Amino acid sequence: MPFLPSPRSLIRHLRRALPATPPGGRALALNSLLKPIQRIPPVPGWILLPAILASGLLSLLPDHGEAQLKVVPQVGLYAPVADLGEIRDNAGQTLVELGRRESTLALGVELEWGRSESSLGMRGGVAHATRSEIPIQGVGCADCSARSSLTAVGAALVVRPFPQMALVRPLLLAGGGVLYHDFDDRQLREENWTDVLVNQSQPYLHLGMGTHLFLGPLTPQIEFSARVSGFDPGGGPPSVNPPQFMTSGDRQTNLFLTVGIPLGR
């Protein structure tokens, strides 16, 4: 992935562009003011994906003079499809197998922009899968596990291809964002898995479908969506020298089945 220019390189170019000034002048004051910024590390470009995606989706929406902003809290079930991956030696022998994360409770909140009767809308928000177990096999451990949670931050275009039909109105979702894997660091240290599993962020593609339900004063939304991303195992067991093994992270399809209640006009 391309990286954004670091603050250090930007400041270096800024200094070259400034005219020379005697000691104690404005350049010295500028240097002391910007010195803390130089310590900021480079930022991966795709970390900004949710903000860039949200800006692009907003530009696709028709201009509504009375567009509405709704808050949609969600609750439901999270279920992954694939194992996390495996670690092999150069001969192809599997050293560590990282199993499939257990299904768990899903929570979320969305901010939805657009008019309810419109065929197009936009949303951005957070989906969170609470902590669950990941089975691990290998390096003398037949029944080990790790715990982790999953948090997705992103934006999506909401398409309502059909008008309201009786009590329902179907909807489609398409977007993306950043998925964060958060492992229980204390457990990893206690079981010596810190070289196998590491906290990480991955870009994801978001596709989904659902329906609005019109039940009098309540208009819940039932949605089934998939967030597809990669996963990068953090290394290998401590007893294995890094040049002597290969990692293989499986493509992750993270499924969310949720019910949300829109709050707002």
Instruction: With a cut of 90, say whether residue 207 has pLDDT above it.
Output: yes
191 and 146 Cβ atoms separated by less than 8 Å: yes
Q: For residue 114, name the pLDDT band (cuts at 50, 70, 90).
A: confident
One-letter amino acid of 181: H
Domains of the chain: residue spans and CATH: 1-43 (no CATH), 46-260 (2.40.160)
pTM (predicted TM-score): 0.71
Say what the pLDDT of residue 243 is: 44
Which pair of structure tokens corresponds to residue 207?
A: 């596709």
More confident residue, 238 or 156: 156
More confident residue, 120 or 210: 210
Say what the pLDDT of residue 130 is: 95
Q: Which of 24-33, 81-90, 110-119, 215-224 has the lowest mean pLDDT?
A: 24-33
For 132-166, b where at least 16 C-beta lie within 10 A, e where not — what string?
bebbbbbbeeeebbbbbbbbbbbbbbbebeeeeee
User: Looking at residues 227-249, what average pLDDT do you find?
Assistant: 61
Q: For residue 66, name the pLDDT band (cuts at 50, 70, 90).
A: low
End-to-end CA distance of the chain: 41
Instruction: With a cut of 80, say whether residue 53 has pLDDT above it.
Output: no
Q: For residue 179, name the pLDDT band (cuts at 50, 70, 90).
A: very high
| Mean pLDDT of the chain, nearest integer | 76
Write the DSSP symbol of residue 3: B
